[in-house]
Chain A
Amino acid sequence: MAKITMREAISQALWEEMERDPGVFILGEEVGVWGGTYAVTKGFYEHFGEKRVRDTPIAEAAIVGAAIGAALTGLRPVAELMTINFAFSAMDHIVNEAAKLHYMFGGQMVLPLVIRTPGGGGRQLGATHSQTPDAIFAHFPGLKVVAPGTPADAKGLLKSAIRENNPILFIENATLYQMKGEVPDGDYLIPIGKSTVQRPGKHVTLVTYSKMLPVSMEACNSLAKEGIDVEVVDLRSLRPLDMDPVLESIQKTNRAVIVEEGWKSFGVGAEVASRIYEDAFDDLDAPVKRVAQLEVPLPYNRTLEQSAIPQTADVIRAVREVVQ
């Protein structure tokens, strides 16, 4: 067990899986000679060579399409999209092809495919480069969507994703690459589609994932000093969505707050809240509260941008309201 960054954890997972299986290869913009836009694949090109670490043209449909085709031949491509905002240029291949081929041809076609991409805002990149559109991708049956919030989960989930025979969108968060955490060495696998309790508590259930996990944890530490004991459930995967730990927690706390970085309308929180109302209405002592991004395209100006993204103070306020 070593304390490493999220970037190192993801890099370690990729490296180990490439060493383990010669069918695993990486393709994407600047993954090779450059070493990865966020340095996740630094050193890979030198070690694994250009056959397995493939720089591509700036052509997202070609990247995802080619990854789909290569996966159909039995390889295990890991395609990197430089940001999730560019995934829209490959939307057709992600949702009309990757998510459909296995079902549509009666189970004949198998796609062991991972698409890695960083999302999220807060880096003053303006409206086109700062989105958290995770919920859109989670809408489609046939695709799996994973979004880790700790370095250990990032490693364990990515290794599982690479070994799966399904198309998986693996959403990282660019502002978390420097976050440090304990990560088990070697073969460490976390099952996809399993939520987990990241912090036990008894007064309120806080449901979150990805970047909002550390933001929420900070809020919980502060709330603990006021005597409010929050249980934090990390979804980790959005599809399949594992609600069991959420519902079990609510049976105990009778209150729930959902924290997500994306917009509130039609978002992850909307889905989770609906399922809570459908399956645990009688357990609730208060309405479910949602904390989410304000409904604006994110602006460049730092103060304005930060005011639109959920902060620790927003989480603290929401939890207090639900507990009162």
Chain B
Amino acid sequence: MDKKKQVDLFMQMVLIRLLEERAAELYQDGKIGGFLHLYIGQEAVSTGLVAARQPVDRVITAYRDHGVALNCGIEPKVIMAELLGKATGTSKGKGGSMHMADVSKNFWGGHAIVGAHLPIAAGLALGDLYQDNKAVTVCMMGDGATNIGYFHEALNLSKVWNLPVLWVVENNQYGMGTSIERASAISMMCKKAYGYGIKTQRTDGMDVISVQKEAERLFDEIRNGSGPQLLEAVTYRFRGHSMGDPERYRKSDEVHQWQENDPIGIYRRYLIDNDIATAAELDELEDKAGEEIDAAVEFAESSPEPAADELFKDIYVEETREVNHG
């Protein structure tokens, strides 16, 4: 990876962090409705993963999707507009925090039923295999999703059909407020893939370089026909499950301990120690990111509400369309 790309990863993580900190404020102000699940603390996982993909590769994730959306190339202002329910948002204000997507950037959402997107990911990979697209689908999920039936149906099917899919378990230690020890028969998520004959890898999800390197190798192997593989990224969410989480299930000491391993802090030191960027340069980038988020909020707030007739649009595709099978 060249220096410019390495510095860009830093910028992406800072943008996610600042975007979500601002979103939390807007939520408190009542400007964002519904649920708001913050990715803060886990930024290195999607940043590293998406950095390793090629444009042809598809990305699909669960409801903690703002960071992934940004990594996939959706502008912060469009994400912010969706959070504010505006017509200019990723989903025209009809999806909200949990349902962002941009198909043109090969980001397939944003799925809010735990684990339900796993069989869909298998289908995306099947579509690519069928059409000989040489593409990989990367499917991200939380550790909680490994306990629902969809995980097992999807992993099994992916192996039976040798589908080009990379399963990524973001193990942030908790499914909502229930720790993996209290919810899962085994605590090493990657071992769950053994039963399906799927190769696994475990990586430090707080280290963007480690995630990126692992992912790059796995994308390559899968593209060359290895079949499905599973990557467990060990990480931690610094904020509650969603806004308004009283966090009775964990001690603040534990949170503080993980916060010392802040993925942005770790990567900042890495860039400086390896002479990839200076502290001053990174400070400047952080300022720039702050300005971009300010502009994103301004854009979102000044954007129009969806028109009233948008309510009945897109329930069905009206015209019949010939699909190009590539």
B110 touches A65 (CB 8 A): no
A92 touches B91 (CB 8 A): no
| Interface pick from A161-169, A197-205, A261-269 | A161-169
In the complex, chain A residues 141-186 whose Cβ is within 8 Å of any chain B Cβ: 141-142, 144, 163-166
Contact with A along B96-127 (1 / 0, CB 8 A): 00010111000011110100111111111111
Q: Does A287 have its Cβ within 8 Å of any Cβ on chain B?
A: no
Known contacts A102-B315, A106-B90; is-contact A164 B320 (Cβ 8 Å): yes
**Could you say which residues of chain A place their CB within 8 Å of the CB of B321?**
110, 165
| Interface pick from A35-43, A54-62, A223-231, A308-316 | A54-62
Q: Does B325 have its Cβ within 8 Å of any Cβ on chain A?
A: yes
B120 touches A108 (CB 8 A): no
Report B262 CB to chain A, min CB distance, Å: 32
B91 touches A105 (CB 8 A): yes
Q: Does B324 have its Cβ within 8 Å of any Cβ on chain A?
A: yes
A75 contacts which of B121, B161, B325 (Cβ < 8 Å)? B325
Q: Does A72 have its Cβ within 8 Å of any Cβ on chain B?
A: yes
Report B83 CB to chain A, min CB distance, Å: 14
In the complex, chain B residues 157-193 whose Cβ is within 8 Å of any chain A Cβ: 157, 160-161
CA distance A68 to B125 in the complex (A): 11
A73 touches B111 (CB 8 A): no
CA distance A141 to B315 in the complex (A): 7
Contact with B along A52-96 (1 / 0, CB 8 A): 001011010110111111111111110000000000000011001
Known contacts A62-B122, A142-B315; is-contact A23 B101 (Cβ 8 Å): no
Report A193 CB to chain B, min CB distance, Å: 10
Contact with A along B306-326 (1 / 0, CB 8 A): 000000011111011101111
A-B contact count, CB below 8 Å? 157
Q: Does B270 have its Cβ within 8 Å of any Cβ on chain A?
A: no
Q: Does A47 have its Cβ within 8 Å of any Cβ on chain B?
A: no
B130 touches A75 (CB 8 A): yes
A69 touches B325 (CB 8 A): no
Q: Does B134 have its Cβ within 8 Å of any Cβ on chain A?
A: no
A97 contacts which of B101, B116, B317 (Cβ < 8 Å)? B116
Q: Does A44 have its Cβ within 8 Å of any Cβ on chain B?
A: no
Report B218 CB to chain A, min CB distance, Å: 20
**Could you say which residues of chain B place their CB within 8 Å of the CB of A106?**
89-95, 314
Q: Using C-beta atoms within 8 Å of the partner chain, give the interface range for chain A.
A: 35 or more
CA distance A251 to B60 in the complex (A): 52
Report B315 CB to chain A, min CB distance, Å: 5
Q: Does A112 have its Cβ within 8 Å of any Cβ on chain B?
A: yes
**Could you say which residues of chain B place their CB within 8 Å of the CB of A73?**
123-124, 126-128, 130-131, 133
Report A89 CB to chain B, min CB distance, Å: 9
Contact with B along A132-143 (1 / 0, CB 8 A): 000000000110
Q: Does B156 have its Cβ within 8 Å of any Cβ on chain A?
A: yes
B121 touches A93 (CB 8 A): no
**Could you say which residues of chain B place their CB within 8 Å of the CB of A164?**
317, 320
CA distance A59 to B123 in the complex (A): 14
**Could you say which residues of chain B place their CB within 8 Å of the CB of A56?**
157
Q: Is the interface of A mostly helix, strand, loop or mixed?
A: mixed
Q: Does A103 have its Cβ within 8 Å of any Cβ on chain B?
A: yes
CA distance A73 to B56 in the complex (A): 12
- Of the listed residues A66, A107, A109, A141, the one surrounded by the most CB atoms of chain B closer than 10 A to its CB is A66
Q: Does B138 have its Cβ within 8 Å of any Cβ on chain A?
A: no
**Could you say which residues of chain B place their CB within 8 Å of the CB of A92?**
113, 116
**Could you say which residues of chain B place their CB within 8 Å of the CB of A66?**
119-120, 122-123, 126, 157
| Interface pick from B3-11, B37-45, B147-155, B287-295 | B147-155
**Could you say which residues of chain B place their CB within 8 Å of the CB of A142?**
315-316
Report B109 CB to chain A, min CB distance, Å: 6
**Could you say which residues of chain B place their CB within 8 Å of the CB of A22?**
325
Q: Does A2 have its Cβ within 8 Å of any Cβ on chain B?
A: no
B153 touches A105 (CB 8 A): no
Q: Does A25 have its Cβ within 8 Å of any Cβ on chain B?
A: yes
**Could you say which residues of chain A place their CB within 8 Å of the CB of B89?**
106
Complex: chain B residue closest to A62, CB-CB: B153
Complex: chain B residue closest to A99, CB-CB: B315
CA distance A64 to B119 in the complex (A): 8
Q: Does A296 have its Cβ within 8 Å of any Cβ on chain B?
A: no
CA distance A77 to B113 in the complex (A): 23
A109 touches B101 (CB 8 A): yes
Contact surface of A with B, Cβ cutoff 8 Å: 22-23, 25, 51, 54, 56-57, 59, 61-62, 64-77, 92-93, 96-97, 101-110, 112, 141-142, 144, 163-166
19 residue pairs of the A-B complex, CB under 8 angstroms, read A51-B130, A56-B157, A62-B156, A65-B119, A69-B120, A70-B126, A72-B108, A73-B133, A74-B323, A74-B324, A74-B326, A75-B127, A76-B323, A97-B117, A102-B315, A104-B91, A109-B108, A109-B109, A112-B323
Sort A-B residue pairs by CB-CB distance and give the 10 closest, nearest first: A69-B123, A65-B119, A73-B127, A106-B92, A107-B314, A66-B123, A62-B153, A165-B317, A106-B91, A59-B153
Given A62-B150, A96-B113, 11 new contacts (CB under 8 A): A69-B122, A70-B123, A72-B108, A73-B124, A73-B131, A73-B133, A75-B323, A93-B119, A108-B103, A112-B323, A165-B321
